[in-house]
Amino acid sequence: MKHVLWTVGCAGFVTLLTCMLLPAAVFTVLYAITIVGAVAAYALHKRTLGKTLVVCILSASFFSGLFCYREACVVQPSYVLEGQTVSVTGRLSEYPEKKKASLTLRLDRCEINGEQTDLSVILYVSKRNESDFPLYSTVDCGNVTLESYGAPGEFYYHTLSGGVWLSGFAQTASVLSVYDGHSPYLFFKQLRHRINGTLTSFLGEENGAIAAALLIGDRAALPGDFTNRLRIAGGSHLFAVSGMHLSLWAAVFFFLLRNKTRIKRLPNLLTAIFILFYMGLTGFSPSVCRAGVMLLSILIGRTIRYHSDPLNALGLAACVMLTANVYLAGNVSFLLSFAATAAIVILYPYFSKRRERKDKLLRRTYKTLSNTAALTVSVLVFTLPFSAFFFGYVSLLSPLTTILLTLPIELEMGVSAAGVLFSGVPLLGKGLFWFDGLLCRTIQTILRFLARLDAAVIPVSATWVGGWYTLTAVALLIVYRVKRKGKYVVSVLLASMILFVGTQVVTLIVRSDDYELYVPAAGNATCICFHAATSGSTVLIGTGRDYGSLRAIRSYFKEKGVVSLQTLIIPRLYEAENGNTASFTDYPIGRVFSPSGNLPLAEANIDYVHTDNFTAMLPGEFRYVSFATNRLSAGILENDAFKAVFCYTPQSDFSDCDPSLSTGDLLLARGALPQGLDPSGFSEIIVLSDKTAEALHLPENVKTTADTGDISFTLQK
């Protein structure tokens, strides 16, 4: 019974993952068999098994019940409402976010067509002043076309864990009433908003966003190029306010109180109150809540003179957080936080440096650096499968990044907090924020240097994650009879090594000459991906026009381990279709080709080519040629062995087009066949449409993506 809470938390967590990843019918059968088998085993061997198994069964049943309730009362209604045009009324739970052409409003517990629901909706409304929508006011929007955030059968629980179920666009929005009451949530949101405003006013937008991300966990305003560098350097965990930040502040707070009172238990109580305050200040993010629950259990244990076991504290945190929000089991922050903590408890002790040296300064420096590197490697090993599944890559620079950035980040946090507290003192406040700005620039300089070493970023296909777990299980079975605890360490390290090596072998040898042309079946949206397996270079032609096409191409990127775009080609100047462009700025982009016009695009440091007609050289001696006139919008992707022609507008007239557009191995046409086209010039013709070829009255040899599904061609150099 030493680790009962750890076992209970893991049981509930594994059960949730099982019921999320499996179809409902399969899960029901497996779950029934598991419970019957567990009860029978306990009845036959209760002296051996003890009470832990019974607690696990009850825990699994409880969490599964929560999951099924949420599915029936929240998720399923969101599917029913998808595609409907309705009126929406709800309470504004977050400050409006300003976009280029709209404001983003999050409404909770919405009334939809006058019926009260538990649904949360993200609405994009025509651009207005943010001050028009006070926080916690009741907002009414009419004629909203709703769209679900997830599709049945997909692993979309990371999105749903944030509490958002539907999105929609509204032309108008009005405030029905303004909230004039008080609540802890409103207090914390207003405090976060004021702190963010203070940091931005003194430090500027970029440095203010960095300081806000480190101090209160608000990463919404971080610049896209900064986020890209952070991902390449493997330092994203340093900017996710987590256990490191909370532990640092709690330790400072406890140290200040320890010698200031004669009541021995008062520092524990006041530190616990401070932890709850900081959890609210950071928006109750999963990583902070995990650390907060663990620290609270330790403080309570000290107060009642009971030693808190780290694994039990971790299991307790899992139970509390999953009970509050059952979908956190699919949240990437939750998974990475728990995996990292488990690595610190289980794996890190085998690598930490305990050996003494004669020289005191050298000893401390060497020990600190080696332990920091060991800690980062341990965390990297445990978080590897989750990073591969959600992001499609792993950065080997993470240990070096942690060593170089830990000290500047800790200093920056302290100086930012002091600057906010003393911002009203003219000389002191300006001095603190000057030093704060210097620290922010230092952090940016280090990241800028590390981001140049992008070769250390290893793409890991999400399909390898299942293999990682399988290898770990097999390795554990092989060393099962070994009595030393190090068998767990050896098993995890062995599985990780095989995952790394196997991924690279497949990429470099098995598919060394492969180039893939991928087009998702996403209606008539233009979203074409050209991916080189050897170099990892990826070219994206078009960004789609809705959430479905965006989701489809990003799923492909994750599956293939795509971490950057060599080239982004925007075939035509159409604002509704190019609205997804900003969604790809979290991938480092080498060059962007866009038509001449005033459409605003992403980061200013990208190499832009604004032109209607161009030729771009691509990997594998392929080239892309763009054709744009007032009668057509088209492109050609070709090398010596293959030629594909793309038509981007259904109204294109090919009667007097360039002769090279009239023949090829493949024709991809958006929505319909181009006018004036002789189909006999192509070996295969596919129309991008959600309607079948029969419904569109197309010739017999022409198919649509509604008939074929996702299209994938493997090309040779």
629: domain CATH number is 3.60.15.10
List the beta bridge partners of residue 668.
646, 686
Q: Are residues 662 and 553 in the same domain?
A: yes
Q: What is the average pLDDT across 451-469?
A: 69
Q: Are residues 473 and 612 in the same domain?
A: no
Give CA–CA dist 121/167, Å, rounded. 5
Quickly count: other Cβ atoms within 10 Å of residue 463's Cβ: 13
**Are the CB atoms for 344 and 290 separated by under 8 Å?**
no
Q: Are residues 253 and 131 in the same domain?
A: no
> How many residues does this entry show for the chain?
717
424, part of any domain: no
Q: How many domains does the chain have?
A: 5
Q: Are residues 594 and 685 in the same domain?
A: yes
At 346 the pLDDT is 75
Q: Is the pLDDT of residue 12 over 80?
A: no
Q: pLDDT grade, residue 499 (50/70/90)?
A: low
Max mean pLDDT among 93-102, 208-217, 220-229 falls in: 208-217
**Are the CB atoms for 647 and 667 separated by under 8 Å?**
yes
Select the more confidently predicted residue: 453 or 711. 711
Who's near 680: CB < 8 A, 6+ residues apart?
Answer: none
| Sign, Cα dihedral of 282, 373, 338, 298 | negative
The residue from 181, 201, 220 where one domain ends is: 181
Q: Is the pLDDT of residue 654 over 60?
A: yes
Q: pLDDT grade, residue 319 (50/70/90)?
A: confident
Q: Are residues 68 and 151 in the same domain?
A: no
Of the candidate ranges 102-111, 219-228, 408-417, the one whose mean pLDDT is the lowest: 219-228
Residue span of the structural domain in which 101 resides: 82-181
Select the more confidently predicted residue: 700 or 41. 700
Q: What is the average pLDDT across 468-476?
A: 69
Q: Are residues 519 and 483 in the same domain?
A: no
Q: pLDDT grade, residue 439 (50/70/90)?
A: very high
Select the more confidently predicted residue: 373 or 170. 170
Q: What angle do CA 377, 383, 384 make, to 5 degrees?
A: 85
458, part of any domain: no
* Rounded (10°) angle between helices 205-216 and 184-203: 140
670: part of which helix (H) or strand (E)? strand 664-670
Give CA–CA dist 679/667, Å, rounded. 9
Per DSSP (E only), the strands in 507-621 are: 514-519, 528-532, 538-541, 565-569, 589-594, 607-610, 615-618
Q: What is the average pLDDT across 255-265?
A: 70
The residue from 311, 346, 381 where one domain ends is: 346
pLDDT digits (tens, 9 = 90+) for 269-307: 888 888 888 888 888 888 888 888 888 887 877 777 667
Who's near 699: CB < 8 A, 6+ residues apart?
Answer: 679
Cα torsion through 317, 474, 460, 623, rounded to 10: -150
Counting DSSP H helices and E strands in the chain, the numbers are 21, 24
Give CA–CA dist 553/475, Å, rounded. 35
Give CA–CA dist 430/418, Å, rounded. 11
Q: What is the average pLDDT across 549-567?
A: 78
Give CA–CA dist 519/549, Å, rounded. 10
Give CA–CA dist 497/502, Å, rounded. 8
Q: What is the average pLDDT across 125-133?
A: 76
Q: What is the average pLDDT across 675-700?
A: 84
Who's near 179: CB < 8 A, 6+ residues apart?
Answer: 91, 134, 135, 136, 137, 138, 186
Q: Are residues 542 and 614 in the same domain?
A: yes
Q: What is the average pLDDT across 330-342?
A: 80
641, part of any domain: yes
At 602 the pLDDT is 46
Q: pLDDT grade, residue 438 (50/70/90)?
A: very high
Give CA–CA dist 40/386, Å, rounded. 34
Select the more confidently predicted residue: 433 or 228. 433
At 491 the pLDDT is 64
What percent of the chain is predicted at pLDDT more than 70?
A: 71
Q: Are residues 504 and 579 in the same domain?
A: no
At 600 the pLDDT is 47
214, part of any domain: no
Residue 593: phi and psi, rounded to 5, are -105, 125
648, part of any domain: yes
34: part of which helix (H) or strand (E)? helix 24-44
Of the candidate ranges 41-50, 125-134, 172-181, 394-403, the one whose mean pLDDT is the lowest: 41-50
238, part of any domain: no
Rounded to a whole number, what is the largest CA-CA distance in the chain? 92
Q: What is the average pLDDT across 234-240?
A: 76
Select the more confidently predicted residue: 252 or 99. 252
Look-up: residue for tokens 């404001």? Answer: 103
Per-chain mean pLDDT for the chain:
76
Q: Is the pLDDT of residue 596 over 70?
A: no
DSSP state of 167: E
Q: Are residues 67 and 87 in the same domain?
A: no
421, part of any domain: no
Q: Is the pLDDT of residue 702 over 80?
A: yes
145, part of any domain: yes
Q: Is the pLDDT of residue 358 over 60?
A: no
Give CA–CA dist 70/64, Å, rounded. 10
Q: How far is CA 66 from the centre of its chain?
A: 24
Q: pLDDT grade, residue 606 (50/70/90)?
A: low
Q: pLDDT grade, residue 1 (50/70/90)?
A: very low
Q: Are residues 602 and 619 in the same domain?
A: yes
Max mean pLDDT among 137-151, 220-234, 571-585, 654-668 falls in: 654-668
Q: pTM of the predicted model, to two decimals?
A: 0.72
Quickly count: other Cβ atoms within 10 Å of residue 195's Cβ: 20
Q: What is the average pLDDT across 17-43?
A: 59
At 89 the pLDDT is 92
Q: Is the pLDDT of residue 141 over 80?
A: yes
Q: Are residues 299 and 273 in the same domain?
A: yes
Q: What is the average pLDDT across 590-611?
A: 63
Q: Are residues 710 and 595 in the same domain?
A: yes
The residue from 181, 200, 234 where one domain ends is: 181
Give CA–CA dist 686/591, Å, rounded. 28
Give CA–CA dist 211/214, Å, rounded. 5
Select the more confidently predicted residue: 477 or 316. 316
Of the candidate ranges 49-53, 136-140, 500-504, 597-601, the one whose mean pLDDT is the lowest: 597-601
pLDDT digits (tens, 9 = 90+) for 383-436: 777 777 777 777 778 778 888 888 888 888 888 888 888 888 888 888 989 999
Q: How far is CA 682 from the centre of its chain?
A: 41
Select the more confidently predicted residue: 608 or 617. 617
